[in-house]
Amino acid sequence: MERRTFLKMGSLLPFAASFDPFEAFADDPIRAGLIGTGWYGKTDLFRLLQVAPVEVTGLCDVDAQMLDEAAAKVAERQESGNRPRTYRDYRRMLSEADLDLVIIATPDHWHAKPMIEAVRQGIDVYVEKPISVDVVEGQAMLEAARTYDRTVQVNLERRSTPHLIEAKQRVIDEGLLGDLGHVDMCCYYPMRDTSNPPNIEPPKHLDWERYTGPAPMRPYNEIIHPGGWRNFTEYSNGIIGDMGVHMLDMARWMLGLGWPECVHSQGGIQVQTEAKANTADTQTATFEFGDVTMTWQHRSWGTPTDPDYPWAAFFHGDKGTLKASVKQYDFIPQGEGEPLHGDVVYELDEYPMDRTEENLEKHVAPALRRHMMDFLEAIDAGRRPRADIEEGYISTTSCILANLSRRLGRSLEWDPETEQVKGDEEANRLLSRSYRDPWTHPTPDTV
């Protein structure tokens, strides 16, 4: 009954109000799997269970303890009460679990290979952002989705966030900003680990060899798992790849923009120098989109410039400014005009389990439900979803280019036709990083 409630909330579902997955999939319930059963993997899967007739048939993780706990929780949550089959190798799960769709919520370095294998086997995919740790991985993922004609939704759920959709419609689409020329984006959360514990042996329930996979091998450290892998460049693209990709993608969507023409970035480890983490604690990046320039800044230290908007985008026009975050939005007119405000939508009464679910970001749950609904509608209608793999590729690659610019110390001009950096052989060599044996790096011509 909790899930049916969602379909009655048409005013909060502007893009799929008429789509009923219980009706669309009534004769053939959705068989779903999950690769990566940690925090956000379960968050994504449980939102799917809330909005559609789903039977979870397979779970995969390299951590046996985490895998067992997830299987027990899924059995409690799904209507059949069945415990899904569990796997340590994603390839076995994709071939044995009779899947219609799979959610991939591993560390970033493990997104590309499972996604490509899934679409090869005719399985639709919901993949976490950023889609990849290097540009060529993203190119191969996009090519695979198109070659095998599968629906691939990226978890860039700002595109499905009710109050942000409202902000786009009320402010940007109505032209209240006037001539828009600049967007500031930022994240000032203290999200980088500042400790420096010694390296240790991995716990026995964790297959460290398989966890590392194609990434460079480094000693195990308690910071890394679970969840702390974002502190290390071996597994992620740092804060800009984790948080910046959301704001950049949101700004591109709101303004209808594609590729940046030029990317420039500076920063590094400037304050938290004693930490074990090797990602940048400070970074600025500029993305040039013709007449519109966007800047990104993150600091994992200090205080936010605007305490009400510590992770946000600020759209500046000659008639006003729009502030937009995951919690709220505000339009501040220049001179005459009416200020506008909107808040995040919570659905705690409609979905009581949101109140008690461990580690759930309650403000994000409504957006995730809508993002899942859009994914299912796209599958049913044979169309591309709101955060199609191509949009994820553009936003992810833009952030990777910022990291490459910071590393090389120069601006990078991007050619979307050749998918290369213009006139920069060194930068183009860095669009793909080496895979550790025996793993082979996917490319567009090998998918």
What does the pLDDT look like over 162-204, one tens digit per residue?
A: 999 999 999 999 999 999 999 999 999 999 999 999 999 999 9
Domain ranges, residue 232: 161-348+393-429
pLDDT digits over 67-112, tens only? 999 999 999 999 999 999 999 999 999 999 999 999 999 999 999 9
pLDDT digits over 202-224, tens only? 999 999 999 999 999 999 999 99
Q: Is the pLDDT of residue 1 over 50?
A: no
pLDDT digits over 105-143, tens only? 999 999 999 999 999 999 999 999 999 999 999 999 999
pLDDT-based confidence at 12, cuts 50/70/90? very low
Residue 442: inside a domain, yes or no? no
Cα–Cα distance for residue pair 107/225, rounded to 1 Å: 10
Looking at the structure, tell me whether residues 197 and 301 fall in a common domain. yes
CA distances from 102 to 31, 91, 140, 202, 214 (A): 9, 12, 18, 28, 21
Residue 353: inside a domain, yes or no? no
- The predicted model gives 329-350 an average pLDDT of 96
The per-residue pLDDT for 26 is: 84
The per-residue pLDDT for 389 is: 98
pLDDT-based confidence at 8, cuts 50/70/90? very low
The per-residue pLDDT for 93 is: 98
How many domains does the chain contain in total? 2
Looking at the structure, tell me whether residues 314 and 383 fall in a common domain. no
Looking at the structure, tell me whether residues 113 and 181 fall in a common domain. no
Across 49-143, the runs of DSSP E, i.e. the strands, are 54-60, 85-87, 101-104, 124-127
> Contacts by 252-258 with C-beta closer than 8 Å and gap 24+?
252/391, 252/394, 252/395, 253/158, 253/159, 253/168, 253/391, 254/164, 254/167, 254/168, 254/172, 254/315, 254/324, 255/172, 255/180, 255/183, 255/289, 255/292, 255/315, 257/289, 257/292, 258/289, 258/394, 258/416
The per-residue pLDDT for 17 is: 58
pLDDT-based confidence at 408, cuts 50/70/90? very high
Asked if 383 contacts 237 with a C-beta cutoff of 8 angstroms, the reply is: no
Looking at the structure, tell me whether residues 252 and 382 fall in a common domain. no
Collapsing DSSP to helix, strand or coil, 335 comes out as coil
Which residue from 39, 42, 52, 65 is spatially nearest to 7, judged by alpha carbons?
Answer: 52
CATH code for position 151: 3.40.50.720
Looking at the structure, tell me whether residues 169 and 272 fall in a common domain. yes
- The predicted model gives 346-354 an average pLDDT of 95
Which residue from 265, 177, 278 is spatially nearest to 223, judged by alpha carbons?
Answer: 278
Looking at the structure, tell me whether residues 40 and 77 fall in a common domain. yes
- The predicted model gives 402-423 an average pLDDT of 98
Higher pLDDT, 7 or 242: 242
Looking at the structure, tell me whether residues 16 and 140 fall in a common domain. yes
Please give the mean pLDDT across all residues of the chain: 95
Cα–Cα distance for residue pair 112/251, rounded to 1 Å: 25
Looking at the structure, tell me whether residues 205 and 321 fall in a common domain. yes
Looking at the structure, tell me whether residues 215 and 136 fall in a common domain. no
Share of the chain above pLDDT 70, in %: 96
* Residues paired with residue 413 on neighbouring β-strands, in sequence order: 262
CATH code for position 217: 3.30.360.10
Q: Is the pLDDT of residue 339 over 70?
A: yes
pLDDT-based confidence at 18, cuts 50/70/90? confident
DSSP state of 45: H
Residue keyed to tokens 């809330």: 50
Residue keyed to tokens 């290390």: 232
The per-residue pLDDT for 7 is: 47
Residue 441: inside a domain, yes or no? no
Looking at the structure, tell me whether residues 181 and 260 fall in a common domain. yes
